[in-house]
Amino acid sequence: MGFAGDFKPGTVTTSAFMDGEIVIYRTRRGTLRVTRPYCPHLGAHLGAGGRIEGELLVCPFHHFAYAPDGTCQRTGAFPVTVDTGCYAAGASVVDRCS
């Protein structure tokens, strides 16, 4: 995965984890998060073109935006119905220098 300093604010990185992948990102304010790689909307890989907008991780396909707690905060440019279960499951990480 890497050290805390490897993940600069505004970056999205894919890393191998066990027999799959995880997506690691840091928001503009510095929150470091780990999430499953696939968007809960239609399964796009968040690490392949996903980007950070402020505190949100934005999917590269339809631009759904997820907060660090995994909740969907915004949909893309076109109107859609958001299932209340729309959730990019993530995990807290330990972010320390030593």
Least gap, CB of 58 to ligand FES (angstroms) = 8
CB of 18 to ligand FES, least distance (A): 23
Hey, is 15 helix, strand or coil? strand
Q: Which of 22, 34, 59, 88 binds ligand FES (CB under 6 A)?
A: 59
C-alpha separations of 7 from 18, 22, 28, 76 in Å: 20, 14, 11, 26
66 near ligand FES, rule: CB under 6 A: no
Stretch that binds ligand FES, among 10-18, 27-35, 61-69, 82-90 (CB under 6 A): 61-69
Instruction: Copy the structure tokens of residue 77.
Output: 């440019």
Closest approach, Cβ 95 to ligand FES, in A, equals: 26
Whether residue 35 contacts residue 88, with contact meaning beta carbons closer than 8 Å, is answered with yes
88, 46 Cβ separation under 8 angstroms:
yes
Q: Does 88 help bind ligand FES (rule: CB under 6 A)?
A: no
In single-letter form, the type of residue at position 83 comes to D
Q: Which residues bind ligand FES (CB under 6 A)?
A: 39, 41-44, 59, 61-62, 64
